[in-house]
Structure 1
Protein backbone atom coordinates (compact mmCIF):
# COMPACT_ATOMS: atom_id res chain seq x y z
CA UNK A 1 0.00 0.00 0.00
CA UNK A 2 1.47 3.31 -1.04
CA UNK A 3 1.34 6.61 0.77
CA UNK A 4 -1.01 8.04 -1.90
CA UNK A 5 -3.62 5.33 -1.35
CA UNK A 6 -3.47 5.85 2.44
CA UNK A 7 -4.02 9.58 2.00
CA UNK A 8 -6.99 8.97 -0.32
CA UNK A 9 -8.55 6.47 2.09
CA UNK A 10 -8.23 8.70 5.17
CA UNK A 11 -10.72 11.45 4.16
CA UNK A 12 -13.30 8.92 2.99
CA UNK A 13 -13.17 7.18 6.38
CA UNK A 14 -13.75 10.46 8.15
CA UNK A 15 -16.53 11.33 5.73
CA UNK A 16 -18.30 8.01 6.33
CA UNK A 17 -18.01 8.55 10.09
CA UNK A 18 -19.58 12.02 9.74
CA UNK A 19 -22.42 10.63 7.60
CA UNK A 20 -23.00 7.90 10.18
CA UNK A 21 -23.16 10.53 12.96
CA UNK A 22 -25.64 12.60 10.93
CA UNK A 23 -27.76 9.48 10.40
CA UNK A 24 -27.75 8.65 14.12
CA UNK A 25 -28.70 12.27 14.95
CA UNK A 26 -31.55 12.14 12.42
CA UNK A 27 -32.88 8.89 13.87
CA UNK A 28 -32.64 10.36 17.38
CA UNK A 29 -34.60 13.45 16.28
CA UNK A 30 -37.31 11.28 14.68
CA UNK A 31 -37.58 9.15 17.83
CA UNK A 32 -37.82 12.33 19.94
CA UNK A 33 -40.55 13.71 17.68
CA UNK A 34 -42.48 10.44 17.95
CA UNK A 35 -42.13 10.48 21.76
CA UNK A 36 -43.26 14.13 21.97
CA UNK A 37 -46.25 13.41 19.69
CA UNK A 38 -47.25 10.45 21.88
CA UNK A 39 -47.11 12.66 25.00
CA UNK A 40 -49.30 15.30 23.37
CA UNK A 41 -51.75 12.63 22.17
CA UNK A 42 -52.04 11.23 25.71
CA UNK A 43 -53.09 14.68 27.02
CA UNK A 44 -55.95 15.00 24.50
CA UNK A 45 -59.48 14.09 25.60
CA UNK A 46 -60.62 10.62 24.56
CA UNK A 47 -62.73 10.02 21.47
CA UNK A 48 -66.49 10.21 22.07
CA UNK A 49 -68.26 6.99 22.90
CA UNK A 50 -71.06 5.72 20.61
CA UNK A 51 -73.75 7.02 22.99
CA UNK A 52 -72.13 10.50 22.85
CA UNK A 53 -72.31 10.68 19.05
CA UNK A 54 -74.88 13.01 17.43
CA UNK A 55 -78.25 11.47 16.61
CA UNK A 56 -80.99 12.28 14.11
CA UNK A 57 -83.76 14.54 15.39
CA UNK A 58 -87.00 12.76 16.36
CA UNK A 59 -88.78 14.01 13.22
CA UNK A 60 -86.15 12.44 10.97
CA UNK A 61 -83.48 13.79 8.67
CA UNK A 62 -83.44 17.48 7.86
CA UNK A 63 -84.16 18.11 4.18
CA UNK A 64 -83.07 20.87 1.87
CA UNK A 65 -85.29 23.95 1.75
CA UNK A 66 -85.44 25.85 -1.53
CA UNK A 67 -86.39 29.46 -1.03
CA UNK A 68 -85.54 32.84 -2.45
CA UNK A 69 -83.62 35.20 -0.21
CA UNK A 70 -83.14 38.93 -0.63
CA UNK A 71 -80.51 41.09 1.01
CA UNK A 72 -81.19 43.84 3.49
CA UNK A 73 -80.84 47.34 2.16
CA UNK A 74 -77.60 49.25 2.67
CA UNK A 75 -78.22 52.17 5.03
CA UNK A 76 -78.64 55.51 3.24
CA UNK A 77 -76.40 58.43 4.15
CA UNK A 78 -77.60 62.03 4.01
CA UNK A 79 -76.14 64.52 1.55
CA UNK A 80 -73.89 66.03 4.21
CA UNK A 81 -72.96 62.70 5.77
CA UNK A 82 -69.72 60.88 5.08
CA UNK A 83 -69.48 57.67 3.10
CA UNK A 84 -69.82 54.56 5.22
CA UNK A 85 -66.75 52.42 5.63
CA UNK A 86 -67.00 48.62 5.82
CA UNK A 87 -66.42 48.86 9.57
CA UNK A 88 -69.51 51.04 10.04
CA UNK A 89 -71.76 48.57 8.25
CA UNK A 90 -73.32 45.77 10.24
CA UNK A 91 -73.31 42.14 9.30
CA UNK A 92 -75.62 42.24 6.28
CA UNK A 93 -78.21 39.50 6.65
CA UNK A 94 -80.72 38.15 4.18
CA UNK A 95 -84.44 37.67 4.66
CA UNK A 96 -87.11 35.46 3.13
CA UNK A 97 -88.52 36.75 -0.15
CA UNK A 98 -92.19 36.30 -1.02
CA UNK A 99 -91.35 36.24 -4.73
CA UNK A 100 -91.21 32.76 -6.26
CA UNK A 101 -89.47 33.95 -9.44
CA UNK A 102 -85.80 33.03 -9.53
CA UNK A 103 -83.35 35.78 -10.40
CA UNK A 104 -81.51 35.29 -13.68
CA UNK A 105 -78.59 37.05 -15.23
CA UNK A 106 -79.56 39.72 -17.67
CA UNK A 107 -79.22 38.66 -21.31
CA UNK A 108 -75.95 39.60 -22.93
CA UNK A 109 -73.96 39.74 -19.71
CA UNK A 110 -71.43 37.19 -18.59
CA UNK A 111 -72.91 36.91 -15.12
CA UNK A 112 -69.56 37.19 -13.41
CA UNK A 113 -68.05 40.26 -11.89
CA UNK A 114 -65.39 41.66 -14.16
CA UNK A 115 -65.77 38.89 -16.71
CA UNK A 116 -65.27 41.35 -19.53
CA UNK A 117 -66.42 38.88 -22.15
CA UNK A 118 -69.36 39.07 -24.49
CA UNK A 119 -71.34 36.74 -22.25
CA UNK A 120 -74.29 34.69 -23.50
CA UNK A 121 -75.12 35.09 -27.20
Structure 2
Protein backbone atom coordinates (compact mmCIF):
# COMPACT_ATOMS: atom_id res chain seq x y z
CA UNK A 1 0.00 0.00 0.00
CA UNK A 2 1.15 3.47 -0.73
CA UNK A 3 0.62 6.73 1.08
CA UNK A 4 -2.39 7.83 -1.03
CA UNK A 5 -4.38 4.67 -0.27
CA UNK A 6 -3.53 4.96 3.42
CA UNK A 7 -4.86 8.51 3.51
CA UNK A 8 -8.07 7.45 1.75
CA UNK A 9 -8.57 4.56 4.18
CA UNK A 10 -8.02 6.75 7.25
CA UNK A 11 -11.19 7.45 9.22
CA UNK A 12 -12.73 10.79 8.45
CA UNK A 13 -14.60 12.94 10.95
CA UNK A 14 -16.74 14.32 8.11
CA UNK A 15 -18.56 10.99 7.65
CA UNK A 16 -19.33 10.74 11.36
CA UNK A 17 -20.59 14.33 11.36
CA UNK A 18 -22.88 13.64 8.37
CA UNK A 19 -24.38 10.58 10.08
CA UNK A 20 -24.94 12.60 13.26
CA UNK A 21 -26.73 15.36 11.31
CA UNK A 22 -28.96 12.79 9.55
CA UNK A 23 -29.84 11.18 12.91
CA UNK A 24 -30.74 14.58 14.39
CA UNK A 25 -32.92 15.34 11.35
CA UNK A 26 -34.80 12.01 11.71
CA UNK A 27 -35.40 12.64 15.43
CA UNK A 28 -36.64 16.16 14.65
CA UNK A 29 -39.06 14.81 12.02
CA UNK A 30 -40.44 12.24 14.47
CA UNK A 31 -40.90 14.87 17.17
CA UNK A 32 -42.63 17.15 14.67
CA UNK A 33 -45.01 14.40 13.58
CA UNK A 34 -46.00 13.72 17.20
CA UNK A 35 -46.55 17.45 17.76
CA UNK A 36 -48.67 17.78 14.59
CA UNK A 37 -50.71 14.68 15.49
CA UNK A 38 -51.40 16.10 18.95
CA UNK A 39 -52.59 19.41 17.43
CA UNK A 40 -54.95 17.57 15.07
CA UNK A 41 -56.31 15.46 17.92
CA UNK A 42 -57.03 18.54 20.03
CA UNK A 43 -59.14 20.00 17.18
CA UNK A 44 -61.37 16.90 16.99
CA UNK A 45 -64.71 16.86 18.82
CA UNK A 46 -64.64 15.21 22.25
CA UNK A 47 -65.54 11.56 22.69
CA UNK A 48 -69.17 10.86 23.66
CA UNK A 49 -69.92 10.56 27.36
CA UNK A 50 -71.47 7.33 28.71
CA UNK A 51 -74.94 8.91 28.85
CA UNK A 52 -74.64 9.83 25.13
CA UNK A 53 -74.00 6.23 24.09
CA UNK A 54 -76.75 4.34 22.19
CA UNK A 55 -79.19 2.31 24.28
CA UNK A 56 -81.29 -0.78 23.59
CA UNK A 57 -84.80 -0.08 22.34
CA UNK A 58 -87.59 -0.50 24.94
CA UNK A 59 -88.76 -3.74 23.30
CA UNK A 60 -85.33 -5.32 23.72
CA UNK A 61 -82.65 -6.34 21.25
CA UNK A 62 -83.53 -6.60 17.59
CA UNK A 63 -83.45 -10.16 16.28
CA UNK A 64 -82.49 -11.45 12.88
CA UNK A 65 -85.31 -12.27 10.47
CA UNK A 66 -84.71 -15.22 8.15
CA UNK A 67 -86.73 -15.37 5.00
CA UNK A 68 -86.24 -16.43 1.41
CA UNK A 69 -86.55 -13.72 -1.18
CA UNK A 70 -87.15 -13.96 -4.91
CA UNK A 71 -86.38 -11.32 -7.52
CA UNK A 72 -88.86 -9.44 -9.66
CA UNK A 73 -89.00 -10.61 -13.24
CA UNK A 74 -86.90 -8.82 -15.85
CA UNK A 75 -89.21 -7.08 -18.34
CA UNK A 76 -89.44 -8.92 -21.66
CA UNK A 77 -89.22 -7.11 -24.97
CA UNK A 78 -91.84 -7.93 -27.58
CA UNK A 79 -90.67 -9.80 -30.66
CA UNK A 80 -89.27 -7.32 -33.14
CA UNK A 81 -89.14 -4.55 -30.50
CA UNK A 82 -86.01 -2.74 -29.53
CA UNK A 83 -84.05 -4.01 -26.52
CA UNK A 84 -84.17 -2.11 -23.27
CA UNK A 85 -81.13 -0.08 -22.30
CA UNK A 86 -79.72 -0.23 -18.78
CA UNK A 87 -81.14 3.23 -18.16
CA UNK A 88 -84.68 1.99 -18.83
CA UNK A 89 -84.34 -0.81 -16.29
CA UNK A 90 -84.99 0.02 -12.66
CA UNK A 91 -83.23 -1.39 -9.65
CA UNK A 92 -84.28 -5.00 -9.46
CA UNK A 93 -86.31 -5.39 -6.30
CA UNK A 94 -87.00 -8.56 -4.36
CA UNK A 95 -90.08 -9.77 -2.53
CA UNK A 96 -90.63 -12.39 0.16
CA UNK A 97 -90.91 -15.89 -1.22
CA UNK A 98 -93.83 -18.15 -0.36
CA UNK A 99 -91.47 -21.12 -0.19
CA UNK A 100 -89.88 -21.82 3.19
CA UNK A 101 -87.27 -24.24 1.78
CA UNK A 102 -83.77 -22.86 1.68
CA UNK A 103 -82.16 -23.04 -1.77
CA UNK A 104 -79.32 -25.59 -1.87
CA UNK A 105 -76.46 -26.10 -4.23
CA UNK A 106 -76.06 -29.26 -6.22
CA UNK A 107 -74.55 -32.16 -4.30
CA UNK A 108 -70.77 -32.13 -4.41
CA UNK A 109 -70.38 -28.42 -5.13
CA UNK A 110 -69.77 -25.44 -2.91
CA UNK A 111 -71.80 -23.08 -5.05
CA UNK A 112 -68.93 -20.73 -5.65
CA UNK A 113 -66.77 -20.36 -8.70
CA UNK A 114 -63.41 -21.97 -8.08
CA UNK A 115 -64.54 -23.48 -4.80
CA UNK A 116 -62.19 -26.40 -5.23
CA UNK A 117 -64.84 -29.11 -5.43
CA UNK A 118 -65.18 -31.67 -8.19
CA UNK A 119 -68.25 -29.91 -9.52
CA UNK A 120 -71.45 -31.50 -10.78
CA UNK A 121 -70.35 -34.47 -12.93
Shorter-chain TM-score above 0.5: yes
- Alignment partners' CA distance in 1, 2:22 and 2:114: 55
- Alignment partners' CA distance in 2, 1:110 and 1:63: 28
Contact kept, 8 Å, 2:108 with 2:119, in 1: the verdict is: yes
Structure 2, unpaired ranges of 5+: none
TM-score by length of 2: 0.76
Counterpart in the other structure of 2:46: 46
RMSD: 3.0
Show CA shifts across 1:3-52 (max 9, x none): 94697122xx1111111100100011111111111111111111011111
The total of aligned residue pairs comes to 117
Tell me, yes or no, if structure 1 residue 94 matches structure 2 residue 97. Answer: no
- Alignment partners' CA distance in 2, 1:50 and 1:35: 29
- Alignment partners' CA distance in 1, 2:90 and 2:114: 26
Tell me, yes or no, if structure 1 residue 26 matches structure 2 residue 26. Answer: yes
Show CA shifts across 1:48-100 (max 9, x none): 11111010010101112111111222233344323533x55433332211211
TM-score by length of 1: 0.76
Change (3 A) 1:110 1:83: farther
